[in-house]
Amino acid sequence: MTVATSAPLLGPGSRATTAIRAALGLVAVAVFITQAIPIVTTFPVAIDLIIPLKAAERWLDGGVVYVPDGFTNLQVLPPFLYPPFVLPFVAPFTFLPELAVRVAWFGLTLGLAVLVCRRLAIPWWVVPGVLLWSPMLGGVWGGNIQIALFAAFVAAFWQSPRSQDLHPDPVDLEAAGAVTPRTGVLAATVASVKISQVQAWLAVVRRSPRSALLGLTPWIAIVAVTLPLVGIGLYGSWLEQVARASDPTWPAMGPSLLAYWPRVVFIALTIGSFAVAMLLRGPETGAWLGLLMLLVTPNMHDFNGVFLLPAMLLIRREFALLAAILTASYTAEGLWLGIAIVVGAMLAGLRWPAVREPVRGV
């Protein structure tokens, strides 16, 4: 006598689970489209590129590069926060039509976002949904550098997937020779203009100090070559600007934990994230690094949420879709609830595998 078996009621592949995922998927698409309309109709394309362009213009004119007005007056352009070595690279573009430069940058950012999706084994039919997800769309449409940094992060810790089935192939960081100078360069790039994202590079340091140091070499060279152009004093002004950006009273800081917790606690959490980054092991290292960088970002904006994406592909699709819906809400509560769901599912999955999406072929 043969006994028929079936998937658990709410297990992957069951009718109930399929129905729940379909319903959440439809809600997600509706939310994404609803939020996308004001993004593309209210904000100029690649608006975040205007900030470094205007800073480069002030630098060329001999003016004040790190203007503090944006911290007290939300009606003016947001403050320039990138290190001085960025200025000589941006300066040539100030002589071109601004709209053309912004549209070109948007096209490049969009291309990088698509490449990220494919690197993470996201099939073509799902890519439009990911691009419409507010954290991704906000970064792409706004032309924020975070999309390029995220692309470097994904290229460092994931390899080309065997198939586009929503199951990314992480780099086996523990394998001999897996961590190379290329990995070091990509990891260093993640923190090149945002030092709070140094966790990826620290993960490389533990496995291959040589690759990590070689990865820093191009950036050290860039700073050295541009130093005679920008001057050492401008780095002091930059540090002062970064300090202003870490002031919890700045309204544009966003819902960073720094805005809610005492500074000493946030600093301790940040230092702790550095230590954890160096201790991480296993194929999920990249996903955990993304969560670490997100949790301790001092300036939280919608586009920072892209670092949730690798972890969202590891947890059950129901949880991932719910987190995607919440993080697309453009509310602090929705963002942190979405982050909590992803982090909670990742942690719970260490003990209860059912909370995770089954691995390929299982």
For residue 70, pLDDT over 80 is answered with no
DSSP classification of residue 169:
E
- Looking at this protein, which amino acid is placed at residue 298? P
Does residue 193 fall inside a structural domain?
A: yes
| Cβ–Cβ < 8 Å for 239, 82 | no
Does residue 5 fall inside a structural domain?
A: no
Does residue 14 fall inside a structural domain?
A: no
Does residue 61 fall inside a structural domain?
A: yes
pLDDT tens track for 288-324: 999 999 999 998 989 999 999 999 999 999 999 999 9
Number of domains in the chain: 1
pLDDT tens track for 76-131: 778 899 999 999 999 999 999 999 999 999 999 999 999 999 999 999 999 999 99
Q: Residue 1: what pLDDT? A: 39
Does residue 237 fall inside a structural domain?
A: yes
pLDDT tens track for 246-298: 888 777 788 999 988 998 999 999 999 999 999 999 999 999 999 999 999 99
For residue 152, pLDDT over 80 is answered with yes
Tell me, yes or no, if the pTM score tops 0.75. Answer: yes
Q: Is 43 exposed, middle or buried, given 0-12, 13-18 or 19+ CB atoms closer than 10 A?
A: middle
- Of 316, 360, 140, nearest to 130 by C-alpha is 140
CA distance 127 to 68: 39
Q: Residue 141: what pLDDT? A: 96
- Using pLDDT thresholds of 50, 70 and 90, give the confidence band for residue 3: very low
Look up residue 56 and give its two tokens.
Answer: 């480069």
Does residue 16 fall inside a structural domain?
A: no
- Kindly report which listed range (9-23, 42-56, 172-186) carries the lowest average pLDDT score: 9-23
Does residue 38 fall inside a structural domain?
A: yes
For residue 34, pLDDT over 70 is answered with yes
Over residues 211-239, the mean pLDDT reads 96
The pairing of strands 169-170 and 158-159 is antiparallel
For residue 11, pLDDT over 80 is answered with no
The fraction of the chain above a pLDDT of 70, given in percent, is: 94
Residue 162 sits at φ, ψ, to 5 deg, of -70, -30
Site of tokens 């009621």: 9
Q: What is the CA radius of gyration of the chain?
A: 21
- Using pLDDT thresholds of 50, 70 and 90, give the confidence band for residue 176: confident
Does residue 239 fall inside a structural domain?
A: yes
Q: Residue 50: what pLDDT? A: 94
For residue 4, pLDDT over 60 is answered with no
Range of the domain at 268: 24-354
